[in-house]
Structure 1
Amino acid sequence: MTVYRDVMPAIVRILAADSIDNSTKQSWQKLIDSGTRTGGFRALLSARDQFDYDCCLYALLHRELTGPEWDVLVGKFSTHKGNRIGAISRTVYRINSPAPALFRYKATTVWFIPKMKGLKVGVDPKGRQVKRSTQVEVLPDEFYDINTWDTDARPESTRSRWRLGIHKSLEAMQEAAVIHVTEILEREKLIDDVA
């Protein structure tokens, strides 16, 4: 009985379960579910049953993943702004780096919320920059400027080394979390075994 086709779409669906309004289908669901559903258990499920599976797996992953694994996935893939901000904040303090606190904070945050090329941004009523059509989370342009991350103006090579180290650490955390989720999905027989 497979419910999910692949791990990454499953993670996105599961982490979006806490912010989905069941009255209308979310645009990201249309993209993920655009493939044909010819066979498999998921093809037999109603939208409500699929949502219920997502919610159950959300609880299972929250219980079985470690705090750092859960936070890196929520910070990277959740659509719930409050949960995402909390996860990013907790992750900043888990990063082991010689960089000062401000640098670690900004380097970690831009890894979770990368600058999107060609994104047309506007300003919402609270003065935050948002993509006009879908309100994608973006940071102010100056936040992405590495020169603002270190008040002591250390050499560029030092700042680049720190940023690379922080981003590699975050990528390793994400990879470990995805591997753990894959193991859980396979154990519960909720994912296709297609390799």
Structure 2
Amino acid sequence: MIYQNVVSAVVRALASEVINSAGGCDFQPKVQAARVPGAICGKEEALLTDCWVFSRLHAMLMPEHWDALVSKYSTHVQRKHDATMAMAARVRSPAPKRFIECATATWAFPQLPGVDGKRSTSVLPAAWYDINRWDEDGRPDSTLYRWRSAIRRSLEDQVNQALVVAQEVLDAEGLIRCAA
């Protein structure tokens, strides 16, 4: 399996840990006669590749890069939460710790359209997205928004750095489609 780009590879790999095979009937044959006899193909091959990429990236990336990718792209709520809090601990900002943690959490779990973000199961309660609740000292909104913007920019920079490293790992394995 060859991925279109590094983001699609990372998203599929991180999603592979929450996919289960409990539902539905599978009418496609597991083995195709045209391929090597006994070879895994189709959905099973793709899932196996995704799991292998997950393992490879987890082993090859530094913890801060891995946390950045999990915080941004994972659908596993507990892993995403743990990685998000690890990222919050690394953020450098004049903002108080609580503000940094709230800004990081709302970056990792963005508010989605719909009533209270109910289109997704991975949203925080509505009160979490109120920036005025993040600061207990009553600082001006301009300061709060400046801090939040700087924190989010820092987090996105970490994700971009992690994607560059992941790209190098996947290129070395020949898993990214090259443009002609």
Which of residues 139, 143, 156 is equivalent to 1:154? 139
Q: 2:57 maps to what in 1?
A: 61
Q: 1:40 maps to what in 2?
A: none
The amino acid across from 2:6 in the alignment is V
Q: 2:151 maps to what in 1?
A: 166
Structure 2 distance, partners of 1:110, 1:97, is 16
Q: 2:35 maps to what in 1?
A: none
Q: 1:94 maps to what in 2?
A: 90
Quick one: structure 1 residues 148 and 96, their matched pair in 2 at CA, closer, same or farther if it must change by over 3 Å?
same
Q: 1:108 maps to what in 2?
A: 104
Quick one: structure 1 residues 3 and 45, their matched pair in 2 at CA, closer, same or farther if it must change by over 3 Å?
farther
Tell me the TM-score normalised to structure 1 length.
Answer: 0.79
Q: 1:17 maps to what in 2?
A: 16
Structure 2 distance, partners of 1:47, 1:131, is 30
Structure 1 distance, partners of 2:103, 2:15, is 25
Identity rate, percent: 38
Quick one: structure 1 residues 61 and 83, their matched pair in 2 at CA, closer, same or farther if it must change by over 3 Å?
same
Structure 1 distance, partners of 2:6, 2:82, is 24
Q: How many residues align?
A: 165
1:81-136: CA deviations, max 9, x gaps?
A: 1111111111110101110011001001111111112x234xxxxxxxx726xx42
Q: 1:131 maps to what in 2?
A: 118
CA apart distance, 1:24 = 4.0
The amino acid across from 2:140 in the alignment is P
Structure 2 distance, partners of 1:3, 1:147, is 45
Q: Does residue 193 of structure 1 match 2:178?
A: yes
Which of residues 53, 75, 82 is equivalent to 1:79? 75
The amino acid across from 1:146 in the alignment is I
Give the 5 Å matches for 1:172-191: 172-191=157-176
Q: Does residue 3 of structure 1 match 2:6?
A: no
Tell me the TM-score normalised to structure 2 length.
Answer: 0.85
CA apart distance, 1:64 = 0.9
Structure 2 distance, partners of 1:67, 1:46, is 32
Which of residues 105, 116, 127 is equivalent to 1:142? 127
The amino acid across from 2:118 in the alignment is K
Kindly report structure 1 stretches of 4+ aligned residues shifted beyond 3 Å: none
Structure 2 distance, partners of 1:178, 1:140, is 29
Q: 1:120 maps to what in 2?
A: 115
